[in-house]
Structure 1
Amino acid sequence: MAQKYQTQGAVPYPHIGQFLRKYFAAKGVNRAEVARQLNIADSTATKYMAQESLQFGILWKISVAVNRNLLADLASHLPIAYTTPRETALETELKALQEEVNALKLENKIYKDLLK
């Protein structure tokens, strides 16, 4: 019988083991090497790939081992629009840079007109 936390709600969550298996295959990640980094048996890592749900701490450790924010990758599957503070800061910086580029283009045009 499934645990209560494993019962899918109106918005189902992705199968974490399948998510990890697909990520490892796509990026050529060696499961045995990740298991060594996590100090677990390779068979335990294999069991992780079969589980529908994994503890946050395990996902955190795997993310560190593969040098990838797998938690953010999973969060991108949520049907909720969310912008991180880092994204907001980057958008602000991008807007400022675009304004600077536009000002420099205008300045460049003025100089070209003066040279004619």
Structure 2
Amino acid sequence: MKTIAKKYKTQGSVSYPHIGRFLTQYFAKYGVNRAAVARELNVADSTTTRYMAQESLQFGILWKISVAINRNLLADLASRLPIPFATPREIALETELKAVQEELNALKLENKIYKDLLK
């Protein structure tokens, strides 16, 4: 019997990470208990074992695992994209940082002026 390749599993010019391997490495690095995740997801322990063997997982499954472990796995995966991007939160933080740096520079100048006056 001929096996038909799934189109979504065909790697393009930029390959995507093996999601199961990503989860396995993440769980090991951060000490996430796979059985506890299975209980949180209300699935069999063997189901989470299968997730960790799969090259690709549905978005909904990744979402549920992220919620179960209180970690944004989707952002972790997105950071691996070979496309430069900034999240709205990062843009807001960069804007805030720039304003704080400008205020710091103004305060340094003001401080220098006061020191010069005291001399």
Smaller-chain TM-score range? over 0.9
Q: Establish whether residue 90 from structure 1 lines up as the match of residue 93 from structure 2.
A: yes
Q: Which residue of 2 aligns with 1:13?
A: 16
1:21-45 Cα shifts (integer Å, max 9, x gaps): 0000000110111111111111100
- Distance (whole Å) between structure 2 residues aligned to residue 112 and residue 36 of structure 1: 64
Q: Which position in structure 2 is the counterpart of 1:47?
A: 50
Q: Does 1:106 align with 2:115?
A: no
Q: SS at 2:57's partner residue?
A: coil
Among all aligned residue pairs of Structure 1 and Structure 2, give the percentage whose two residues are the same amino acid. Answer: 80
Q: Which residue in the other structure is 1:23 paired with?
A: 26
Q: CA RMSD in A?
A: 0.8
- State the Cα distance separating 1:109 from its structure 2 match: 1.1
Consecutive unaligned residues of structure 2, counting only runs of 5 or more, are: none
Aligned length: 116
